[in-house]
Amino acid sequence: DAGVIQSPRHEVTEMGQEVTLRCKPISGHDYLFWYRQTMMRGLELLIYFNNNVPIDDSGMPEDRFSAKMPNASFSTLKIQPSEPRDSAVYFCASSLGGPQYFGPGTRLLVL
Amino acid sequence: DQQVKQNSPSLSVQEGRISILNCDYTNSMFDYFLWYKKYPAEGPTFLISISSIKDKNEDGRFTVFLNKSAKHLSLHIVPSQPGDSAVYFCAASTNAGNNRKLIWGLGTSLAVNP
């Protein structure tokens, strides 16, 4: 079975540009989570969805970040405009309400 | 305020011996606990979980112990293997209603030496 799929795996962009990260959850999972990992703060939950509806977005750092889940098999995390401090690894995870299963992550570098 | 704490940033163990990773939490409402393993350049991988109604859960070489009165859990790996070298994260949640938010520790880096 395919696990959580994320794209792109690596992204290098310049400050001010729009960045879109994509996630395909495990088929049948009804929860989807977006995380950011940095050396200083570890794993931070940004937002999570249940049945495509955002449940908790309290971790979204500011209005430059937005996330959507238009259907059960796709979600995006958008940063506009991007800043150097957004450089991190972004993970997507999905679950059936129990353990969360993570994708390989997107390593974002904003210059 | 760190609600889930892994006080040992790193641990080194000899192959074949027991590895014990510790985790403390402060929120008495947590009722579900998980351990994840993470290799470099990969996402965290779920290892084992325990609900607050139990004090022990075992899966092969991995056992998680929960001490609710001490707000402490530990992961035992026996016997340790070089492939177990990774960063281990403890996470906790209160599965009330629709809440599925995990609170994470900062991780413990385990090195298993051949």
Q: Per residue of chain A (111 residues), give pLDDT as tens.
A: 689 999 999 999 999 999 999 999 999 999 999 999 988 888 999 999 999 999 999 999 889 999 999 999 999 999 999 999 999 999 999 999 889 999 999 999 999
Gap from A11 CA to chain B (nearest CA, Å): 14
* Per-residue 3-state assignment (H helix, E strand, C coil) for chain A: CCCCEEECCEEEECCCCCEEEEEECCCCCCEEEEEEEECCCEEEEEEEEECCEEEECCCCCCCCEEEEEEECCEEEEEECCCCHHHCEEEEEEEECCCCCEECCCEEEEEC
Q: What is the pLDDT of residue B98?
A: 67
CB contact under 8 A, B42 and A104: yes
Gap from B28 CA to chain A (nearest CA, Å): 19
**Each residue's pLDDT tens digit, B64-100:** 999 999 999 999 999 999 999 999 999 999 876 667 8
Annotate B49-61 with b (16+ C-beta within 10 A) or e (fewer). bbebeeeebeeee
